[in-house]
């Protein structure tokens, strides 16, 4: 009688991406909508963490905590960890960027606020917004009923590729203007780098 050795089928671990957002609703809603559009059979797991942290430095520290926990306790490390925040009203960006870079955490940054990224879905501009309210006023030319935390993804989704293209133009424009640090540019956003990655996963 022949004895056949059972062959265990092993699955490749799914790529895990962790995203932490500064905003309580607007940014998480945006990324959760992208996640909802991914097939459930996808080999990718995108996690948008709920957190009460609301400064760039706190977000980075929370990202480090969750990254270490996944690696040591859950034995299921993240392939990439991103924090999403903007410049509006915050002054300690060097510390946040340096801390993130030291731990290989990626940053999706907007200046002056995340609404500039949303605006790029509709138009390209290098106008320097004085504050977030200023950017929102410009955005309302395209989404008249826009409110922070609102459900606007249905209007934005068809224009995501336009936003990615415009975001690339903004980065190129800033690179030509000098050697300033990212947080010193206005306007600026590299959120498109994260969005494009998620769409192509």
- 45 part of a folded domain: yes
pTM: 0.89
- 130 part of a folded domain: yes
pLDDT digits (tens, 9 = 90+) for 79-104: 999 999 998 867 788 899 999 999 99
pLDDT-derived band at 159 (thresholds 50, 70, 90) equals very high
pLDDT (0 to 100) of residue 43: 66
pLDDT (0 to 100) of residue 177: 83
- Going from the C-alpha of 111 to that of each of 60, 91, 101, 190, the distances in angstroms are 18, 12, 19, 10
- 4 part of a folded domain: no
- 66 part of a folded domain: yes
> Cα torsion at 117, 122, 127, 131 (round to 10°)?
-50
- The mean predicted confidence, pLDDT, of the chain is 88
pLDDT-derived band at 187 (thresholds 50, 70, 90) equals very high
Q: Which residue has the higher pLDDT, 148 or 74?
A: 148
Residue with tokens 């962790």, as numbered in its chain: 18
- Residue 189's DSSP bridge partners are 110
Q: Which domain holds residue 196?
A: 15-200
- 1 part of a folded domain: no
pLDDT digits (tens, 9 = 90+) for 25-36: 999 999 999 999
Taking 50 as the threshold, does the pLDDT of residue 7 lie above it?
no
- 172 part of a folded domain: yes
- 117 part of a folded domain: yes
Taking 60 as the threshold, does the pLDDT of residue 150 lie above it?
yes
- 7 part of a folded domain: no
- Across the chain, the runs of DSSP E, i.e. the strands, are 15-21, 44-49, 80-86, 106-111, 188-189
Q: How many CB atoms lie within 10 A of CB 105?
A: 22
- CA 92, CA 90: separation in Å to the nearest integer? 6
Give the count of domains, the chain.
1
pLDDT-derived band at 178 (thresholds 50, 70, 90) equals confident
Taking 60 as the threshold, does the pLDDT of residue 11 lie above it?
no
Cα angle 106, 110, 113 (rounded to 5 degrees) comes to 140
Question: Which tokens sit at 112?
Answer: 């002056």
Cα 189 versus chain centre, distance: 10
Mean pLDDT within 170-189: 91
């Amino acid at each position: 009688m022949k004895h056949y050795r059972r062959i265990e089928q092993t699955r490749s671990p799914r790529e895990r991406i962790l995203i932490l957002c500064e905003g309580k609703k607007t940014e998480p809603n945006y990324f959760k909508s992208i996640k909802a559009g991914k097939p459930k059979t996808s080999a990718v797991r995108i996690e948008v963490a709920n957190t009460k942290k609301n400064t760039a430095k706190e977000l980075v520290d929370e990202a480090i905590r969750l990254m270490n926990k996944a690696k040591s306790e859950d034995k299921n490390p993240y392939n990439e960890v991103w924090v999403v925040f903007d410049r509006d009203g915050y002054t300690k960006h060097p510390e946040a960027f340096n801390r993130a870079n030291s731990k290989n955490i990626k940053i999706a940054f907007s200046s002056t606020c995340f609404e500039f990224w949303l605006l790029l879905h509709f138009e390209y501009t290098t106008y320097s917004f004085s504050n977030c309210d200023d950017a929102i006023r410009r955005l309302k030319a395209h989404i008249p009923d826009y409110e922070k935390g609102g459900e606007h993804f249905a209007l934005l989704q068809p224009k995501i590729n336009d936003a990615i293209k415009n975001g690339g133009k903004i980065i190129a424009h800033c690179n030509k203007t000098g050697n300033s640090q990212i947080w010193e540019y206005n306007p600026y956003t590299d959120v498109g780098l994260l969005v494009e990655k998620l769409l192509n996963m």
